[in-house]
Chain A
Amino acid sequence: MSKKYILGVFDDEATLVDAFEKLKDKGVMPVEVYTPYPVHEILEGMPIKTRITHAAFFYGLFAALGILGFLTYAAVIDWPLRYGGKPFNAFPSFIVVTIVATILSITLLTLFTFSARAKVFPGKKAEIFHERATDDKFVMVFDKDGIANDSESLKAILTEHGKIE
């Protein structure tokens, strides 16, 4: 870490959110916020968004079409066989496999997407700013260069409920 950072450390969610909103009104945004559990005000307030649910929808759409297409190809075109007097294209009984295999595809692909986008994968070394952010501390990280002008008011707001480390 070559850059210099200011850490605002808080003991609970309410004080964190309060400080976060006050700072946001002043136009100061933290680089990142670390919390032991998801805090929705922070997730909504930070300038990040996720399209993982949209991705999942399209995975599902293409998986369903692909699987249904494969079943039809295998049972109707490639090697047609009569089973129990059903037509070759026994569409209703293909639905079952399509649903279950689609769910499997969505799950696996969304997991890989999550892993790639959130950068959470096996063998990754965690970049830890504050040891207790996964335990009981709520930590806001500020880039020291970016907030040179507001550093006084920043410190005032941070020390109101939390402390600076």
Chain B
Amino acid sequence: MFNSAVRGKLIDGDKSFSQISKEILAPIHAKTPLWWYAAMLVSLGMFGFGLYCKYITISTGIGTWGVNNSVAWGWAIINFVWWIGIGHAGTAFSIFLLILRQKWRTAINRAAEAMTVVAVFCASLFPLLHMGRPWLFFFIFPYPNTRGPLWVNFNSPLFWDFVAISAYLLISASFWYFGMVPDFATIRDTAKSKIKKAVYGFFAFGWTGSSREWLRFEGLSFVLGGIAAVLVVSVHSIVSTDFAVSVQAGWHTTIFPPYFVIGAIFSGFAMVLTLVITMRGLYNMNDFITDRHVDAVCRILIFISLIMGTAYMTEIFIAWYSASEYETYMFFKNRLFGDYAFQFWAMFTANAVIPQLFWFKGVRKRMWIVFIISIIINIGMWFERFNIVVTTLSRDYLPAAWANYSPTYVEVGFFIGTLGMFLAGVLLFFRYIPMIAISELKSVAKFDKPNNGQLKAKSHE
């Protein structure tokens, strides 16, 4: 375990407690910058285009998409899994680093959890519209009705998925929100304007920071942290069973649950990196999210990238070793050298090869390179989902049913719309919510302080 002596200072610049609150809250109290409006306009434009495409999808039908009888899961499922994967890192970040007692998480977890909530929300739109008749989505709830099979099929991974995604959305949102309550109280007590005091005062739920509140707050974090760790692993395992429970070559493998969970955390950590580097650039948070924080995330990414590479190689090896005609065809003829070979090699290069550059200190130190690599990983993970969904469906057991797939502008627009929604959510987060968990950061700030040598310095945990 790293302790603070190994890890070094967690906050640069020898700040007092009030300086910490002041600097983190500066963007909230400051005037909204011009670029913020510009960026908001762009993302709302993307969001609007997405709404238009959703309107076409609902009013005309799924026929406006490029999906067909063979490739029935096109962009909707690719992007659903992609967003859910990104959404995984927020909770994974807070929870696993909490369990591993990594104190450097405190500067990043708020942003990661914000990303989770918005990404899971984007993800949930895809299966909803893919249902074809989204206004009947409540059919998936198990409630007494007169429709024939009276209850839903509890053996179906698609139902598990519905339960998992809705639970995940609710839990990650409440975990995020309750973490923010003490910080909203700080805003309430430091704000000058009456409106801010009232609004943040309402969201602070009357928090005062008394020992009675903190004691129960700690108990709550302990409970939520413990069970959310189970949830993170199980949600993406369930997403993988959507594929693995079917009897399709390339999907019907036991490696899928761990492979999906690791892939999700990989893409999510890359997105966290994209986000915190943006925060550093735009809001000058370098003292809180130091170069060492970015360095630590990069090191984690090397490790996960190696696991990803191993998973890809394992799949290929097992396809050969199983001597199954269909598995061998799927990997050696179709994925590696078939119609979608580009997507396969793009995935392999972006996820397993390029992140290995993080072995070099010079790369980890240069923020713009780290930023570019984090974007490349996200693109690579998108190609991974494309590769899994489309190659398998386009070449199934019956050559007469083989069909290729390309998206229509409606599907592309839908995806662009969720990107716009994500950006708008992140911008709102930058503007109105403390980007860094202030109270958690203060609790690690004392490691920097020598206490003037007069009192015993106790460390917690």
Interface residues of chain A, those whose CB is within 8 Å of chain B, are 12-15, 17-18, 32-43, 46, 48-50, 52-53, 56, 60, 70-71, 74-75, 78-79, 81, 83-84, 86, 90, 93-94, 96-97, 99-101, 103-104, 106-108, 110-111, 114-115, 117-129, 131-136
Q: Are A35 and B209 in contact (CB under 8 A)?
A: yes
Alpha-carbon separation in the docked complex, A134 to B159 (Å): 44
Q: Are B223 and A106 in contact (CB under 8 A)?
A: yes
Alpha-carbon separation in the docked complex, A48 to B235 (Å): 37
Question: Which of the listed residues B164, B181, B209 has the most CB atoms from chain A within 10 Å of its own CB?
Answer: B209
Binds A, one of B50-58, B96-104, B148-156, B395-403: B148-156
Interface residues of chain B, those whose CB is within 8 Å of chain A, are 16-18, 21, 142, 149-151, 153-156, 159-160, 163-164, 166-167, 170-171, 174-175, 178, 181-182, 185-186, 188-190, 201-202, 204-220, 222-224, 227-228, 230-231, 234-235, 238, 241, 439-440, 442-443, 446, 449, 451, 455-458, 460
- The contact of A37 among B151, B175, B207, B440, by CB within 8 Å, is B440
Alpha-carbon separation in the docked complex, A120 to B209 (Å): 11
Q: How far is the CB of A8 from chain B (nearest CB, A)?
A: 14
Alpha-carbon separation in the docked complex, A60 to B227 (Å): 10
Given that A104-B171, A114-B217, A133-B209 are contacting pairs, would A93 and B17 also be in contact in the complex, using a CB cutoff of 8 Å? Answer: no
In the complex, chain B residues whose CB is within 8 Å of the CB of A127? 206, 208
Residue of B nearest to A124 (CB): B206
In the complex, chain A residues whose CB is within 8 Å of the CB of B442? 36-37
In the complex, chain B residues whose CB is within 8 Å of the CB of A110? 220, 223-224
Residue of A nearest to B229 (CB): A103
In the complex, chain A residues whose CB is within 8 Å of the CB of B210? 32-34
Alpha-carbon separation in the docked complex, A65 to B15 (Å): 51
- The contact of B204 among A53, A75, A86, A126, by CB within 8 Å, is A126
Q: Are A107 and B209 in contact (CB under 8 A)?
A: no
Q: How far is the CB of B434 from chain A (nearest CB, A)?
A: 12
Residue of A nearest to B442 (CB): A37
Alpha-carbon separation in the docked complex, A125 to B164 (Å): 36
Given that A135-B18, A136-B17 are contacting pairs, would A12 and B224 also be in contact in the complex, using a CB cutoff of 8 Å? Answer: no
Alpha-carbon separation in the docked complex, A135 to B186 (Å): 6
In the complex, chain B residues whose CB is within 8 Å of the CB of A35? 209, 211, 214
Q: Are B216 and A52 in contact (CB under 8 A)?
A: yes
In the complex, chain A residues whose CB is within 8 Å of the CB of B451? 12, 14
Q: How far is the CB of B457 from chain A (nearest CB, A)?
A: 6
